Amino acid sequence: MKAEGKTTGAMPRGSTELLVRTKRFALSVINLYSALPGNTVCQVLGKQLLRSATSVGAHYREAQRAKSTPDFISKVEGSLQELDETLYWLELLEESDTSESASVIPLKSEAGNR
């Protein structure tokens, strides 16, 4: 998810496309989490994934209300940090064989498409 900045006056604004993509991404992770088995490992990894994946869009949405360019950059960087953490949890789910690769691969692809 590459940031495509636009500028309105002196205030940076992000891509409307990224607002949609980050929300769609969070919803996809919610669906993945809902389908995970109820064992302890899946639930712990899944909750970590759920927190970080839903934070990506929240941080990006917050960046839309930035007070300055440095504030915008800081908030977008927070979103990217959450995205990287999300990728980590997806990798753990896949590599620990606790989730089907078919459901994780598209999410990893989207998270890694920066």
User: Each residue of 89-113: pLDDT tens digit?
Assistant: 999 999 998 877 788 999 999 998 6
Contact between residue 99 and residue 42 where contact means Cβ atoms under 8 Å apart: yes
| Structure confidence by residue, pLDDT tens digits, 29-88 | 999 999 999 999 999 999 999 999 999 999 999 999 999 999 999 999 999 999 999 999
Judge contact between 12 and 75, C-beta under 8 A: no
Type of residue numbered 89: W
CA angle 108, 38, 52 (to 5 degrees): 35
Extents of the domains making up the chain: 61-114
pTM of the predicted model, to two decimals?
A: 0.83
